Amino acid sequence: MKTRAAVAFEARKPLEIVELDLEGPKAGEVLVEIMATGICHTDAYTLDGFDSEGIFPSVLGHEGAGVVREVGAGVTSVKPGDHVIPLYTPECGQCKTCLSGKSNLCTAIRATQGKGLMPDGTTRFSYKGQPIYHYMGCSTFSNFTVLPEIAVAKIREDAPFQTSCYIGCGVTTGVGAVLNTAKVEPGDNVVVFGLGGIGLNVIQGAKLAGAGKIVGIDINPEREAWGRQFGMTDFLNTRGLSREETIARIAEITDGGADYSFDCTGNVEVMRTALECCHRGWGTSIIIGVAEAGKEIATRPFQLVTGRNWRGTAFGGAKGRTDVPRIVDMYMDGQIAIDPMISHVLSLEEINKGFDLMHAGESIRSVVVY
Ligand code: NAD
Ligand code: AHE
Ligand code: ZN
């Protein structure tokens, strides 16, 4: 079949809207009509050439929602007409990691996924006879995409696509980092670096967990109002502040340091500050931001000797097929806000504007509706 898609033919070039050829689902795969997709900073990072796994030409996008249109042989858990969210972190339920109960990082298809391929080692997309690669196993910047059965979460049909697509990455990542990874408890002081599409969800997750102080940090002053809307109690604009000054200000606000801090910037200097602003003896810093290829984190080992902990999280520690439908329920029950964070709704033809808005700091989430 044919599908309209925004293709990343090369790094650092605008996406091009073209009609691609798409092969139908093979055994264990499903064809999904994507109805809406968010634009996450990770898409921009890959398009900008910062991803060591970045492959071109490819169809980016990993934050979608849609409808199953066809299933391949042997698929039993979903059927045509089901509403689904694609999962860049699948859940096979059978690999060592899934069985461990210790992590959501299912390994069933990770190797081929990182090479832009379906589990059988081929692509379903092509253009003028040449393969076009998949991205994060999702490729939601195409109106139709093919996904492994283990990489779709079935969701309730009354959830709007335009907002629930955000659960495919940003919402689950931010809220999950607080509830699943950090396991923030009532009264804990939380510090969030970077109040964009992920950081605001960390803030609303912290509020949900009953955190005490929820300190938001950004270099864009307009993010203060955004943070306060979702439960932030204090804001710090760190533009022009040294690491030591930032840590001192946080210590004043939190009576000695963060119980939990979260990096939602992808900047390795910020990651260091996020660790070092943690409370001596127990504070834990969680890295969510994705750093550019080649970048490394540093701190004095003394920071860890004196009881600070450094951790990371992918997809908020969520097991996609199990947890995503629950997060959709939380949204539909009004426990989680999504609608106000969708700052821009675009057509596929306008998708490059979504990247421009993100880089200009003008959007929280741009969503493309097909
Ligand atoms: P975004 O562009 O919406 O937000 C980033 C925010 O960080 C902006 O508000 C920006 O002003 C702020 N910022 C930038 N530099 C800063 C600095 N030096 N100090 C303080 N604030 C600063 O991006 P997003 O979509 O929220 O994504 C945030 C990060 O999370 C990205 O690195 C993205 O790749 C990553 N991410 C990781 C996961 C995961 O599973 N680990 C999932 C989604 C996104
Ligand atoms: N490909 C990069 C790593 C990118 C990365 O860490 N991705 C996160 C999700 S970001 C979503 O917006 C993730 O899921 N990581 C775990 C995994 O298995 O990829 C690189 O550095 O090579
Ligand atoms: Zn993402």
What is the pLDDT at residue 288? Answer: 99
244-255: pLDDT as tens digits:
999 999 999 999
Active-site residue 41, yes or no?
A: yes
- Look at residue 65 in the predicted model and tell me its pLDDT: 99
pLDDT (0 to 100) of residue 13: 98
3-state secondary structure 226-285: HHHHCCCCEEEECCCCCHHHHHHHHHHHHCCCECEEEECCCCHHHHHHHHHCECCCCCEE
Domains and CATH numbers, the chain: 2-168+338-369 (3.90.180.10), 174-314 (3.40.50.720)
Ligand 2: residue whose CA is nearest its atom 15: 314
* Alpha-carbon dihedral 257, 258, 264, 266, rounded to 10 degrees: 50
3-state helix, strand, coil in the chain (%, to 5): 30, 25, 45
**Among 4, 92, 112, 344, which one carries the catalytic annotation?**
92
pLDDT at 113: 98
pTM: 0.99
| pLDDT at residue 234 in the model | 98
| Pocket flag, ligand 2, residue 51 (CB < 6 Å) | yes
User: Is 42 among the catalytic positions?
Assistant: yes
- Identify the band that residue 149 occupies on the pLDDT scale cut at 50, 70 and 90: very high
Which residues fall inside 5 Å of ion ligand 3, going by CB?
40, 42, 169
At 161, the pLDDT band (50, 70, 90 cuts) reads very high
**Ligand 2, residues 88, 134, 167: which to mutate, most atoms within 8 A of Cβ?**
88
Question: For residues 175 and 184, what is the distance between their CA atoms, to the nearest angstrom?
Answer: 11
- Cα-to-centroid distance, 307 and ligand 3 (Å): 31
Q: Which atom of ligand 2 is nearest to the CA of 290?
A: 6
Identified catalytic residue from 3, 29, 41, 233: 41
Tokens of 323: 């947890």
Q: What is the mean pLDDT of residues 129-138?
A: 98
What is the ipTM metric for this complex? Answer: 0.99
Instruction: Express each pLDDT in 52-111 by its tens digit.
Output: 999 999 999 999 999 999 999 999 999 999 999 999 999 999 999 999 999 999 999 999
Q: In which band, very low, low, confident or very high, does the pLDDT at 359 lie, cut at 50, 70 and 90?
A: very high
Catalytic residue among 3, 97, 106, 149: 106
| pLDDT tens digits, 303-346 | 999 999 999 999 999 999 999 999 999 999 999 999 999 999 99
Q: Does 95 qualify as catalytic in the annotation?
A: yes
Instruction: Give pLDDT, residue 312.
Output: 98
Q: What's the average model confidence in pLDDT over 281-305?
A: 98
Give the pLDDT mean for 346-367.
Answer: 98
Query: What pLDDT digit, counting tens, does each position of 2-58 carry?
Result: 999 999 999 999 999 999 999 999 999 999 999 999 999 999 999 999 999 999 999
- Residue-wise pLDDT tens digits, 117-131: 999 999 999 999 999
Distance 241 CA to ligand 2 centre (A): 30
**58 CA distance to ligand 3 middle (Å):** 16
Tell me, what's the pLDDT at 88? 98
Ligand 1 in reach of 267 Cβ (< 6 A): yes
Which of ligand 1's atoms lies nearest the C-alpha of 45?
34
Residue 10 confidence (pLDDT) = 98
- Atom 8, ligand 2: residue with shortest CA distance: 314
CA of 264 to the centre of ligand 1 (A): 4
